[in-house]
Amino acid sequence: MPQTHPPVGDDSITAAAARLRKAAATATPVSPVRDLIGRDDVEAAYAVQQRLTAERIASGAAVTGRKIGLTSVAVQRQLGVEQPDFGVLFDDMAYADNSVVPIDAVLQPRIEAEIAFVLGADLAEGPLDSAQVRAAITHAVAAIEICGSRVADWDISFGDTVADNASAGAYVLGSRQVPLTAFDPVAAEMTMTVDGETVSTGTGAACLGDPVEAVVWLARRARELGEPLRAGQVVLSGALGPMHPVTPGSVVHATVTGLGTVSVTFSASASASA
């Protein structure tokens, strides 16, 4: 169970944000921030995330949605938490199906395959229950999330990953768009390969029992924090199987039954602008 602790001061939140900001600016992972905000202080961790999000928006980035993490009970137990987390997706994180992603676009990249949902209505009012969330979803697509950590060696606690935007890096959406009336997220089966080798498998039930219920959790949590989900946004609902690292030149394919395949290739070398 999370330990009780005194409130984290603004100076510590500022220092944690500065550490993670430096990692992003220099493309060099830094030490964890739990020495500043604690391992499991949810409010402090989201305060750091919100500060960094506000800075990105102020610099011109546009929010395109959210990603949900820690949807696996096993991973929650590993980090000593009893709930998922979420991060913010920005326009510069989005890649089209079959894109080539610079290997240095994301620090310490690891990949997950999941179901993404696109919203056709705001989720800001009402009970935000399963029926309302399902009605708000226009379609589902297969997705690859490219997770990344600004924390060296992925040495993360719950507080570290939340502060670090839930280890969000980039995402790739498949081209096949399927309404929920024609697709059962719980029954969906996922297979992900890297360079032709199967590295991850799973089902929709691995994501909080139902990926739509993950969106229900997110809708309520986002509203609590003052930034509700909006029409047009993408929600990455959580991994359907284990995360896997990638290296320069890796070719990734993920197949989700009912949604088809989504693919991405990583460049063989760093981008010229790095």
Is it the case that residue 78 has pLDDT exceeding 80? no
Long-range CB pairs of 243-246, under 8 A, 24+ apart, other chains included = 243/110, 243/111, 243/112, 243/147, 243/200, 244/110, 244/111, 244/112, 244/192, 244/194, 244/199, 244/200, 245/108, 245/109, 245/110, 245/111, 246/103, 246/109, 246/110, 246/111, 246/146, 246/194
Q: What is the pTM of this model?
A: 0.93
Region 198-222: mean pLDDT is: 95
* Residue 223 identity (one-letter amino acid): R
Helix (H, G, I), strand (E, B) or coil at 251: strand
Q: How far apart are CA 238 and CA 6, in angstroms?
A: 31
Is it the case that residue 269 has pLDDT exceeding 90? no
Quick one: pLDDT at residue 72? 79
The helix-helix angle for 10-26 and 42-58 (nearest 10°) equals 50
Write out pLDDT tens, residues 127-178.
999 999 999 999 999 999 999 999 999 999 999 999 999 999 999 999 999 9
Q: Give the DSSP letter string of 155-197.
A: ---HHHHHHTGGG--EEEE-S--B-GGG--TTT-EEEEEETTE
